[in-house]
Amino acid sequence: MTTASHLGIGMTSQRTRNRMIARLREQKIRNTQVLDVMSRIPRHLFVDEALASRAYEDTSLPIGLSQTISQPYVVARMTELVLENGTPRNVLEVGTGSGYQTAVLASLVPHVYTVERLGQLQQRARHCLQDQNLHNIDYLHSDGGWGWSDYAPFDAILVTAAPEEIPESLLKQMAPGGVMVIPVGPKQEQELMKVTLTKHAYEVDSIEPVVFVPLLNGSQ
């Protein structure tokens, strides 16, 4: 999606990104690696040209097919939680969407496996990520509620669409000591959860209320 009009915003986007980072700090995002990566990734290239000027506002934006790019604060918070117990060797991301969260992850961990149920969004995201020279990513067009058993177990799983309950298949694909960050619950009543697989059990921490699109079954 790199076009002439994107070049225009390119000149001012570093300043706008710096403002976004200042806001994230005010919102108590502390992980400097996360802040650093988000200050470099051109978020405006992951949204439609018509919305590029709003890309650094702290809001989710439409990316087509009734889906949204998550707001910067939520991306930062979820990434911070993924890194909290050390840098994971691999991450499974469910819900590629625009690919922006994928870009943040792929800039911080050795390998990202990302699953999207809508083929059209997946293709667009893949092009964007390749344009950013991010090649440590594998893509799957599928219902991510089933995870990606070929590459399991995962040190971290990050889900960017909300199921009503945590899918059993994802729990089973967590590595020992691994984490899963996932919004759970019906529309308007979702809570961000962090699941840790300790030696003996799955420990679940409730983090904060969030609003995500629902995790849907099947792929198209």
Question: What is the contact surface with ligand SAH in residues (CB under 6 A)?
Answer: 63, 67-70, 94-95, 97-98, 100-101, 115-118, 121, 143-145, 160-161, 213, 215-216
**Nearer Cβ to ligand SAH (34/215):** 215
State the minimum distance, in angstroms, from the CB of residue 165 to ligand SAH: 13
State the minimum distance, in angstroms, from the CB of residue 162 to ligand SAH: 9
Q: Which one-letter DSSP state was computed for residue 200?
A: S
Closest-approach residue to ligand SAH (CB): 97
**Nearer Cβ to ligand SAH (117/194):** 117
- State how far the Cα of 215 lies from the Cα of 217, in Å rounded to an integer: 7
Catalytic residue numbers read 70
Those residues whose C-beta lies under 8 Å from the C-beta of residue 25, and which sit 6 or more positions away, are 35
Residue 84: CB atoms within 10 A of its CB come to: 13
Sign of the C-alpha dihedral computed for residues 132, 30, 170 and 119 taken in this order: negative
**Nearer Cβ to ligand SAH (65/177):** 65
Tokens (6 digits) for 135: 């090649």
Helices (DSSP H) in the chain: which residue ranges?
4-26, 32-40, 72-83, 100-106, 119-131, 168-172
**Nearer Cβ to ligand SAH (188/200):** 188
State the minimum distance, in angstroms, from the CB of residue 82 to ligand SAH: 13
- State how far the Cα of 12 lies from the Cα of 14, in Å rounded to an integer: 6
**Nearer Cβ to ligand SAH (119/177):** 119
Distance of CA 164 to the CA centre of its chain: 19
State the minimum distance, in angstroms, from the CB of residue 110 to ligand SAH: 20
Phi, psi at 16, each rounded to 5°: -65, -40
State the minimum distance, in angstroms, from the CB of residue 200 to ligand SAH: 29
